[in-house]
Structure 1
């Protein structure tokens, strides 16, 4: 079996608080892997370690054959990350954004023009290549944000809430595009709070809560194990139905941020 991601007892603590506690998972190469959990479950911290943005407190993680601590630059070359927050410059055009990130990724100038056009045509934005991204709709920005992460031909793509706040047409397009990435042989990790989306896209799932993985495995096996008809049923059986009210701690003199 070939794995794009392997973690063993991966742990991250912040001043005594354990955000991720001994997580061991394997993500099959060429699959779509769903990472689910309530807010505060540790998903973002886990992914930041996978992306080399946080150094693990303990344990080990290997991404595309490279250790995240010993070989961070090799890991970064192998992954493309689409965060929930758009990583685009609104005053630049669609073409200028992709060219900028292409240079940051080290794409050769001889390949740049062809790569930019190829990706913009793929997401139906070539006709808007000279328009500032700040004038784009949310769906257009997300399409551009996704291909921004593909400029350097990564083998693993991480999508954090890729359809959050999008209209139904854009949601459908993003989900279909994720499936096409898998068809090309890429590995995709998706985090989402949309249980229908998780069930539609994922072949394997990990469900996290309070820093730990409660279950991991193929979707159909998890549904069978918990006598559940949907992924949502599995999720609620594992994490509970109780509301989890927490203050965000983000109020300032000017109001909510």
Structure 2
């Protein structure tokens, strides 16, 4: 049984080639004006005020580095209506140590993976509730923040969406030959550095063998394909600059069974693919 099948929600998953799937919570932030002022938005002030709020009681996230919070002013603010957002951002909470069983705590150590999962979801819901709708005062200018969990980060929601999709497809099919339940088996991973999947000291291009070895830690693979992800680079760049092709890659992984797909998707949700610094 792959290690991904028994993975606990706050547990990292080591992968070959010095990679790992590290647990973290990602939240999408949206900011709106909360008063009638038309003063320009200062991104640095907004980020600083939010960092202070996050690090102070009652949230008390002292191990939150500045780099784990991003705030970006939206374009054409002067053309936006008052009810439209003025900035967006993302928050990554990586310190999940308070959710892990502590040594010596017999009750915590005896928790099943399912109980740990419920504890994680309760904590996540509580954090979202505390952040939703807060107002930040920047020298008399007020901004209201809304928060959401990206669909790709919520495994339960994602699983329900694909189950509903294939159920409706089965019910709507008029062809009796197609009255067979289908389930997903393929994962697409985008925007990962090509060098992470390359053969060390051989090439900077992703290797099929290395990539296959890495993703085999998540389950048995039927087919695997790799391509440059220049389209994503162009979209994120947002400018008409000459892009360096091949920096990032896109990986298609088709698993042999639905169970392996399910466990791999669950392992990827709520985790960052990271490279060891050693």
Q: TM-score, normalised to structure 2's length?
A: 0.23
Kindly name which structure, 1 or 2, has the bigger radius of gyration based on alpha carbons.
2
With structure 1 as the length reference, what TM-score do the two structures score? 0.25
